[in-house]
């Protein structure tokens, strides 16, 4: 009877240690103390890009995109 209680106490103690460790990992702050993390506010809207230089460009990689469906397809 005493061995079962002792084993049960060890299991409960081990589970408590694991739970406390997991809680500590999830609640600790990431990064160094006093470290400033940049925060930005974004908005959905059109993205306007203007090219102010002349010349020609070529892509580094080529990708051929085709549809397996017949008829008019819109992407």
Q: 29-59 as b/e, with b when 16 or more CB fall inside 10 Å?
A: eeeeeeeeeeeeeeeeeeeeeeeeeeeeeee
What is the model's pTM?
A: 0.35
What is the mean pLDDT of the segment spanning 46-75? 82
Non-local CB neighbours of 73 within 8 Å, separated by 6+ positions: 67
pLDDT digits (tens, 9 = 90+) for 7-53: 888 999 999 999 999 888 888 765 556 678 889 999 999 989 887 88
């Amino acid at each position: 009877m005493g061995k079962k209680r002792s084993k049960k106490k060890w299991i409960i103690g081990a589970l408590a240690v694991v739970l406390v460790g997991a809680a500590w990992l999830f609640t600790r702050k990431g990064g160094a103390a006093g470290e400033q993390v940049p925060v930005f506010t974004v908005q959905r809207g059109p993205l306007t890009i203007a090219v102010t230089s002349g010349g020609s460009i070529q892509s580094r990689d080529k990708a051929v995109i085709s549809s397996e469906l017949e008829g008019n397809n819109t992407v």
